Amino acid sequence: MIRRIDLIPSSIKLLIALSYDSAALSIAFFLSYFLRLGGEISVVGYSEFIVFALTVGFTLSCFYLLDVYSSIIRYFNAKASLKIIGILIGSACVCYLSSQVFDAFVPRSIPFSFLVLSSMLIAGARALVGFFVSEHWFDEREEVVIFGAGTTGRQLVSTLTQGNKYQVLAILDQKTQYQGRSLFGIKIHNLEYIKVLTKKYKNFKVLIAVSEVNPERMKQIVNQFEPYALELLTVPSMYDIVSGKHTIDELREVSVDELLGREPVEPIPELLSANIKDKVVLVSGAGGSIGKELCRQIIQQQPSKLILLEVSEAFLYEINQELTEFQVENNTEIPVVPMIGNVQNGMLMTRIFDVQRVQTIYHAAAYKHVPMVEKNVIAGITNNVLGTYEIAQAAVFCEVETFVLISTDKAVRPTNVMGATKRMAELVLQGLAKRDHQTRFVMVRFGNVLGSSGSVVPLFKKQIRNGGPITVTHPDIIRYFMTIPEAAQLVIQAGAMGKGGDVFVLDMGSPVKIVDLAIKMTHLMGYTVKDEQNPNGDIEIKFSGLRPGEKLYEELLIDDHAQTTTHKRILTANERSISWVEVHNLLIRITEAMNDENVAEIRQLLMDAPLGYVPESHSSDELENTENKADQTAS
């Protein structure tokens, strides 16, 4: 119906509006006489008709000249109503003054009656038509509750009440000065009122309208709503709204970052820029989750050149395009050089470092998916161990100043091949660090990052959207989590510390039980968990069993001893290392076994090496011991 109305030509709409207003003004004028004289209107003569004509002519002219007819009726609001009433007040004045000029019979009550009646017939009718014609009437709007009665909340309520998509049920705020008051006719309640709303309306969305809130506060807000299994959405930041990048009603899902977020620690500027500013920087694996974020943060530190090294053409194109757009938006002209290449090709690495005169390397290229590497042992060692060896040797040969390896918590007492290869890569760099050369090797070890390709978060989201079930390997499995931006920022700062051969570990905060994460994510997306207590729930959680080589818990230190550094979230570990001769001999033996494609011998060599690698058999006794340790860690 709305579309049919929109198809009517503007000239026809103007004619209809003029005809209606003329009729409404006539009715208001003569009805005023009728009410005043008790039905006797024979006194209306030639002079009174002149007053009538002048009043109507003045009113319609003002309506036309002041753009009353250019406004869209379906969006008729208080401001448009006040404009019409203001013109009608002028019309009432014209009515009275013209009666004096033409000596017409116009009792003093007539202009007031005319004003009231014409306002009802013109402004009131427009408001009524606007309500019926708008999508409010024909389309079912989504029910929402707004949290936050401050400036952002007020702007959001104003926008949504004028729009057609959402119906605001209530406003919630924890500040007592707002509670009990109304905003655009909508009552403001305390947070406890959410219980009443869920009982009354069952399902609705909660829009969090608080801007510039720190992660710890956002985490508290999210946790207060999470148990009610309501879909949570947040408004853009005030900066994005003011800059025009986003509008206030461009809502987004609450991310898991905000559910697990912690107060960020201000970076140390000197550490951020030490290995980057005015230097040629290369990132291997530039198209991966960590690699991309490293590139984003590196380019903000003004390197003289940034080289993107990636084996995947598609990933390389994606990050190169993103950085190009970033530079256009920020009016910078830092050379960005995308290069397709494999770190296993030592000659190619040497040529790139020599030609580009690379000074700092962030080595993020690696195979990191535990099950994939477990099934592809030779590929995993080729990339993670020999690839690291080749790119590190090339760095030494070309006198690269700093080489930072992105390691993992799975390198600590590894139970899988992936973890063993990353610990072996650390030993390679520790051995190289003891030789006489100009390159400073640094290793940075941390756990899972939210939203990376190997994270459970995107998998859980996909499973929830598909209606479940959510697959969790074990009810007691726990992991440490960190956001990708925080991890990359800490990696850059840790890379500026140490003298060479140092292993740094990042403070990952408190561990998270994966099954609890699955439940919280289900609730945040507006669904309930189906279990014995709630057999009618939406999403079921199934336990698939630990995968080959998977631990119930992860560690960041081998000897459980670490020393603090100048940054409160970066620790330094005093890990065991071996001489370069021992490392080299081990690499030779592993390479020979790989040439023979003898996977069993490769696994045995990894177990015999000083890596602490013990393949997880998942026997009942070992599983029980692991569960006990996981419980202690969680507590």
Distances (CA, A) of 374 to 417, 547, 617: 6, 10, 13
Amino acid at 440: R
Question: Residue-wise over 45-67: b if at least 16 C-beta within 10 A, else e?
Answer: eebbeebbebbbebbbebbeeee
Distance CA 185, CA 610 (A): 71
Task: Pick the closest to residue 343 from 405, 293, 399 (CA basis).
Answer: 405
Tokens 């189906």 belong to which residue? 530
CA angle 229, 233, 234 (to 5 degrees): 140
Which of 368, 410, 520, 551 is catalytic? The answer is 410
Q: In terms of DSSP bridges, do strands 562-564 and 570-573 run parallel, antiparallel, or are they unpaired? A: antiparallel
HSE-CB for 44 with a 13 A CA cutoff: 17
In terms of C-beta distances under 8 Å and separation of at least 24 residues, what long-range contacts does 238-244 make, across chains too?
Answer: 238/152, 238/211, 238/212, 241/211
Catalytic residue list contains 79 = no
**Tokens 């030592």, residue?**
346
Cβ partners under 8 Å of residue 190, min gap 6: 172, 173, 174, 176, 179
DSSP H helices, 265-410, are 269-274, 289-300, 313-330, 346-356, 370-375, 377-381, 387-397
Rounded to whole angstroms, what are the CA distances from 71 to 126, 323, 350, 614?
11, 43, 68, 75
Looking only at the bridges linking them, the beta strands covering 448-450 and 440-446 are unpaired
Which residues, in sequence order, are bridge partners of residue 478?
A: 513
Q: CA angle 490-493-496, nearest 5°? A: 150
Contact (CB, 8 A) for 549 and 416: yes
* Alpha-carbon distance values, 315 to 288, 319, 323, 568, 582 (Å): 7, 6, 13, 34, 37
Provide the annotated active-site residues: 410
